[in-house]
Amino acid sequence: MNPCAHPFRFAVNMLSPGSAAEWREKCRRAEALGYDVILVPDHLGMPAPFPSLVAAAEATERPRLGTMVLNAGLWNPAMLAREAATTDQLTGGRLELGLGAGYVKAEHDRAGLPFGSPRERVDHLEHTVRELERLLGDPEHAPRPAQGPRPPLLLGGNGDRMLRLAARYADIAAFSGATTDDSGAIRPVSPAVLDERVARYQGFAADRPEPAELNILVQRVVVGDRRAAARELLAQAPGLTEDELLAHPVLLAGSVKDIADQVRAHRERFGFTYFTVLEPSMEAFAPVIEELGRAA
């Protein structure tokens, strides 16, 4: 099983709300820049996922549209199945459904929902995934998604239970290359730890008939001095060295050609073929997509 058999795909995760006109223009710009997927997160204070994706579909023609990632603790599985199926229909079968266990306690508190222990959050995510499989796999379920038996599923996480769940159910296995605490603070792990996590997933997925895509969430793209970019990020990466950050896929830095070479290197080392950048990096990363397309 070769996870690198998938072609490169590039996504932008849209973080900031705005007017209808501003949202449509951002999505059209992402399409023009060559992004394959437009994504929306699931955090309070950021755009609501499903209406945003329907609006994105109306403004664009080519990109896939997805969630990166839904916080399963905020969703009832039956209601989520209805939302996902309706959105898949309204986007013309372009939906990719991303799910995670949730990691920001304050958001649960604001929503008046229990946060639970890590085990309880993964339990709820697993229940949600199983219910989505059951509900959307039922030909009598209404509404029906445009894609059958369900939209492609992305699962994101780092722990063994999450990796097992992704190996069993996910079409796309997403890695953050980092750990988070209950406040939502992100701390990159070392490249060696990321190697181990990817290898662990591959072990769980060894019996899959077809390999899943492997996704990585890039935290920062800097077209400029690589060392300076790594030094700036060191404060958010306690315990890592500058050289470790330079070898880490959460940071892409250097010239456009340098970054394209880094993307290829991360494909060879980790198996990542699906790279997601954050909205503030959308313009900076676009020339890299063009560079990789020219070299394909």
H-helix or E-strand containing 56?
A: helix 49-59
Quote the pLDDT of residue 183: 66
Q: Is the pLDDT of residue 286 over 50?
A: yes
What rounded mean pLDDT belongs to the chain?
Answer: 94
Mean pLDDT of all residues in 177-195: 85
Q: Is the pLDDT of residue 264 over 80?
A: yes
Q: How remote is the C-alpha of 110 from its chain's centroid? A: 24
Q: How far is Cα 189 from Cα 184, in angstroms, rounded to an integer?
A: 15
Query: Which class for 193: exposed (0-12), middle (13-18), buried (19 or more C-beta within 10 A)?
Result: middle
pTM for the predicted model, two decimal places? 0.96
**Distances, alpha carbon 203 to alpha carbons 58, 140, 168, 197, in Å:** 40, 36, 12, 10
User: What does the block give as tokens for 29?
Assistant: 């710009």
Three-class SS of residue 85? helix
CB 91 within 8 Å of CB 57: yes
What are the residue boundaries of the structural domains of the chain, listed by start?
Answer: 3-295
Q: How remote is the C-alpha of 101 from its chain's centroid? A: 13
Question: What one-character DSSP code corresponds to residue 223?
Answer: E
Q: Class assignment of domain 3-295? A: alpha beta
- pLDDT-derived band at 156 (thresholds 50, 70, 90) equals confident
* β 9-13/37-40 pair status: parallel
Q: Is the pLDDT of residue 181 over 80?
A: no
How big is the chain, counted in residues?
296
User: What does the block give as tokens for 259?
Assistant: 């970054």
The per-residue pLDDT for range 237-263, each reduced to its tens digit, is 988 999 999 999 999 999 999 999 999
Q: Which residues does residue 256 pair with via DSSP β-bridges, in sequence order?
A: none
Three-class SS of residue 10? strand
